[in-house]
Amino acid sequence: MIWYLLKLLILLPLIGGIAWGSLKLAQHMQAKLGGSQSATKSVRIIETTMLSPTLKLAVIEFRGREILVSASRTGLTRLAEAPAREMGE
């Protein structure tokens, strides 16, 4: 019984520390990789709205155009397209 408690007192903080370190490493790597790719992205999601649990509307900016799409379980459908607005509008 004492051997079990001793192992528990040693291994529990060790496993917790490994899990915490893995999460911190994943956050660091995501920030490092995400920052370098953000300048090269040609597609940007402007806004999303849930219409129902299975249907979502999204405005996507691509090459100076704003495209309104509906996203459902069956896929994406383009609904409308317009020139992109300026950021201040």
Kind plus residue range of the DSSP H or E element containing 73: none
Please, what's the b/e burial string for 39-51 (b: 16 or more CB within 10 A of its CB; e: otherwise)?
eeeeeeeeeeeee
pLDDT at 34: 66
User: pLDDT tens digits, residue range 29-82?
Assistant: 887 876 555 556 788 899 999 999 999 999 999 988 999 999 999 999 999 999
How far is residue 20's CA from residue 26's CA, in Å, rounded to a whole number? Answer: 10
Q: Are 65 and 43 in contact (CB under 8 A)?
A: no
pTM, two decimal places: 0.52
pLDDT at 86: 74
Both tokens assigned to 45: 């999601």
pLDDT at 75: 92
